[in-house]
Amino acid sequence: MKLSIIGGGNMGGAIVRGLVQGTVFKPGDITVIDVSEAPLKNVQDFNPAIRTALNNYDSVEHADIVILAVKPWLVRDVILDIKFKLNYSKQILVSIAAGVTIACINETLLKAKEEMTLPVLFRAIPNTAISIKQSITLITSQNATPEQTALLLKIFNELGSAIVLDESKIEAGTALTSCGIAYLFRYVRAAMLAGVELGFYPKDAQNLVVKTMLGAASLLDENKANPEVEIDKVTTPGGITIKGLNELEANGFSDAIIKAIKASR
């Protein structure tokens, strides 16, 4: 199975590095296309068997799967560049561009190809943890068979975990996952600052906070418990944890998180 991925930057490069360690693609069956030499050098330094192409889209014509891993505002231009190389009857087209809907892609595709046939099209929205194969990737599709959907799930499950959603929920899901990872980082930074004030060096405070976050996430992931159940286990009457929790709520912690996620839709 052959893959062409257009865009070898942070997200595209992370996807390629993860996939060459997986079971779906062989390194020599992956071609990374970019307009700059630096990202192409990076992926070849990682694995010289990966094929690269500098501003050359010939590999698209022979690919089974084409991934658009470019910035959202470049999707239209890339589609216009590859329009004569796409074969809707044989290929799967995947976009990882946040905020670019299937309808928007279809509009550009139809104008580019001047035909009414629509491709097998997926939107796959990972987050930056894909660089360590720990992303949660949101997937939605058009015209896909169950087998094709299973293939996309297999691909992105090798880069963390993946879930299929109706497209109507993709933007809300993106707020929770792609934007949400930044909100978690902001919590880590704030907790680090508190740790420094309490006498820890920054790197030591970060280590304590990160390890605590990993443990908390693992508890919820493995136990499938409501977070309030786990909170109750460490919140004793008159204890120090409830004092801290009350301070968080008095300063609008939950309300701020809810508003931030809703604003990110």
With 80 as the cut, is the pLDDT of residue 228 above it? yes
With 80 as the cut, is the pLDDT of residue 114 above it? no
Dmax over Cα atoms in the chain, in whole Å?
Answer: 70
Q: For residues 34 and 94, what is the distance between their CA atoms, to the nearest angstrom?
A: 16
pLDDT for res 23: 93
Percent of the chain with pLDDT over 90: 90
Binning pLDDT at 50, 70 and 90, where does residue 72 land?
Answer: very high
Q: Please indicate whether the domains covering 3-166 and 180-263 agree at the CATH topology level.
A: no
With 90 as the cut, is the pLDDT of residue 50 above it? yes
Mean pLDDT of the chain: 94
**Which CATH class, in words, describes the domain spanning 180-263?**
mainly alpha
Q: For residues 23 and 51, what is the distance between their CA atoms, to the nearest angstrom?
A: 18
CA dihedral (24, 29, 33, 37) in degrees, to 10, reads 110
Average pLDDT over every residue of 127-155: 95
Task: Classify domain 3-166 by CATH number.
Answer: 3.40.50.720
With CA atoms as reference, report the closest residue to 159 among 140, 187, 145, 139: 139
Binning pLDDT at 50, 70 and 90, where does residue 149 land?
Answer: very high
Q: Model pTM greater than 0.75?
A: yes
Give residue limits of the domains in the chain.
3-166, 180-263
Alpha carbon of 234 to those of 36, 72, 219, 247, 250: distances in Å?
A: 52, 44, 13, 16, 19
Q: Which helix (H) or strand (E) holds 260?
A: helix 253-263
